[in-house]
Amino acid sequence: MLIVNLDVMLARRKMSVTELAQRVGITLANISILKNGKAKAIRFSTLEKICQVLECQPGDILEYRED
Amino acid sequence: MNKILQSRKCLAWMLKAVTLLAFAGVLFAGLVPVPQLAEHVAYFWPDYANFATAAVIYVNLGFAPFYGALVLAWQVFSAIGRDESFTRANARRVRWASWLALAEVVYLLGGLVWFGARQALAAVTVLAFLGLTLLGLAAAVLCYALSVLILQAAEMKEEADLTI
């Protein structure tokens, strides 16, 4: 399964989840869905905005783990 | 967006109004024309007089699955008004409606056999029985197919809702 690790990048950039949600343009609820691993899919546009805001690569926030 | 919401609520209210009319119509039919028809038949065809009361009771009991389907329809229409059209709950309700239609078919066939065994059926009544049976079967199949489609739509919506 794919894990979305936002906490590490948020800590590095000293950014809150609220600010991230605001700057990316998605709701806090959706950020929570991402963080909890309940998301079924992520749009490239959303991933691009997250990477732009957190100044990171997709690989910095996406991790693959065997089930 | 507000116009869409209002039109959905308007649609739900219209569907509920139709449901109420259907309930009132069938209730009225069971309480007035059906007993009057039974009296009429008993008067003009005394051979069938013994079955008049049984026929009235049979017809009114036969409306029960239809009333059940109307309750389910009301719940589906309420969900439509709340913007919850494509949900697993609605798929279940429509599937239950198909089972009720099937139960109606079984009830009609049972009545056909029971009244037929007592030679209480005229040719036109047999045709009416068979016609209603076919309608019931069609309703059962259509409702089942609709429930499958609603379930698929609900699954697609769940997936879309969880696409960030």
Burial of A61 (0-12, 13-18, 19+ CB in 10 A): buried
Q: What is the pLDDT of residue B5?
A: 65
Q: What is the pLDDT of residue B24?
A: 97
Q: What is the pLDDT of residue A3?
A: 87
ipTM beyond 0.85?
no
Q: What is the pLDDT of residue A36?
A: 86
CATH number for the domain that contains residue A23: 1.10.260.40
Overall domain count for chain A:
1
State pLDDT tens for residues B82-112.
999 999 999 999 999 999 999 999 999 999 9
Cα–Cα separations (whole angstroms), residue B105 to B58, B120, B121, B136, B141: 13, 19, 18, 6, 12
pLDDT over threshold 70, residue A40: yes
pLDDT over threshold 70, residue A50: yes
CB contact under 8 A, A43 and B162: no
Q: Spell out which chain A residues touch chain B, with contact meaning CB-CB distance below 8 angstroms.
A: 26, 30, 33-34, 38-43, 46
Q: What is the pLDDT of residue B1?
A: 65
Give me the domain span that covers residue A9. Answer: 2-64
Find all residues with CB under 8 Å of B29, minimum gap 6, and list them. Answer: none
Taking contacts as CB-CB distances below 8 angstroms, the residues of chain A near B158 are 40
Q: Spell out which chain B residues touch chain A, with contact meaning CB-CB distance below 8 angstroms.
A: 158-159, 162-164
- Which residues of chain B register pLDDT less than 70? 1, 4-5
Q: What is the pLDDT of residue A1?
A: 85
Q: What is the pLDDT of residue B75?
A: 97
